[in-house]
């Protein structure tokens, strides 16, 4: 683009066309803070779609949203609540760390991932209103530094008082960042064949037993001899067979 060719897009024109928040998100997400970016209109659409998803999430959760979620959350909440609360506090930790490091592109990526976790909870229909309310309120607070106008509009839409900028920044609860269960990938000869859920702290012998007993794994090892089982604790089981 150049002024002589008349195809320069000014910030004012882009903000008028796409909205200030979408433009801010695009600029923050496109590249690390210290790098220059090449303007592409298609990429701005991604920011618009993300904001639209957040607006949709707030609309979907508003009927059951509760301002008193702190009092309504219980320590013995169900697995679906534990999973969403893990995603909520993992997002707090990640976005806080990234903003402190001026890594705004990965902070926006973390927000996108977090919004997907909330959406999954809404679709599943098995998450308590308190856990969903905590997640949505947290999403707006984390979004506020990067898309303040949208965050404040949605904050008001939920009936919350004042502005996001006047709220205390959320703090991650370390006790909620420990998963009760792990998802373990199971490979046969280096190829992913199954996944299984296992409790945190499971020993290697029990994990090997569960992997070898998995029906999908049996399909790929029938008639073969298991030569070796390689275990990466908390992540992976690779079964070598021929």
Q: Which domain holds residue 47?
A: 11-177
* 115 and 41 fall within a common domain: yes
Please check whether residues 211 and 149 belong to one and the same domain.
Answer: no
CATH code at 135?
Answer: 1.10.730.10
The average pLDDT across 158-182 equals 91
**Mean of per-residue pLDDT scores for the chain:** 89
Q: Is the residue at 3 inside a domain?
A: no
Q: Are residues 45 and 156 in the same domain?
A: yes
* Between 87 and 32, the higher pLDDT residue: 87
1 pLDDT band (50/70/90 cuts)? very low
| Domain shared by 47 and 82, yes or no | yes
Total count of domains within the chain: 2
Measured between alpha carbons, how far is 110 from 63 in angstroms, rounded to an integer? 26
Tens-place pLDDT, residues 12-21 = 666 666 778 8
N-term to C-term CA, the chain: 59
Instruction: Show the CA angle centred on residue 179, arms to residues 177 and 184, nearest 5°.
Output: 130
> For position 209, which CATH number holds?
3.10.20.590
Same domain for 156 and 222, yes or no, is: no
Q: How many CA atoms lie within 13 A of 133 on its CB side?
A: 18
Q: What is the pLDDT of residues 198-241, one digit of tens each?
A: 888 888 999 999 999 999 999 999 999 999 999 998 889 999 99
In a domain, 5, yes or no: no
CA-wise closest residue to 113 among 77, 142, 155, 153: 142
Cα separation, 88 vs 100, in Å, equals: 18
Strand, coil or helix: 156: helix
61 and 34 housed in the same domain: yes
Tally of CB atoms within 10 A around 212? 16
55 and 158 both lie in a single domain: yes
Residue 76 sits in the same domain as residue 192: no
């Amino acid at each position: 683009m150049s002024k002589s060719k008349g195809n320069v897009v000014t910030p004012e024109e882009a903000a008028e066309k796409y909205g200030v928040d979408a433009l801010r998100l695009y600029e923050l997400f496109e590249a690390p803070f210290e790098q220059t970016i090449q303007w592409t209109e298609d990429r701005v659409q991604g920011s618009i779609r993300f904001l639209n998803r957040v607006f949709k999430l707030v609309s979907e959760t508003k009927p059951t949203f509760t301002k008193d979620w702190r009092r309504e959350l219980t320590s013995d909440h169900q697995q679906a609540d534990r999973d969403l609360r893990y995603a909520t506090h993992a997002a707090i930790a990640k976005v806080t760390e990234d903003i402190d490091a001026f890594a705004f592109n990965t902070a926006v990526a973390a927000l996108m991932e977090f919004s997907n976790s909330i959406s999954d909870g809404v679709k599943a229909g098995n998450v308590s209103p308190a856990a969903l309310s905590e997640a949505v309120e947290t999403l707006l607070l984390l979004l506020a530094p990067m898309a303040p106008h949208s965050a404040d509009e949605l904050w008001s839409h939920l009936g919350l008082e004042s502005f996001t900028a006047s709220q205390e920044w959320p703090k991650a609860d370390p006790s909620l960042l420990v998963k009760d269960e792990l998802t373990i990938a199971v490979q046969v000869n280096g190829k992913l064949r199954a996944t299984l859920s296992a409790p945190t702290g499971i020993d290697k012998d029990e994990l090997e037993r569960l992997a070898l007993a998995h029906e999908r794994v049996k399909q790929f090892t029938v008639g073969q001899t298991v030569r070796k089982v390689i275990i990466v604790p908390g992540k992976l089981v690779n079964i070598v067979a021929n």
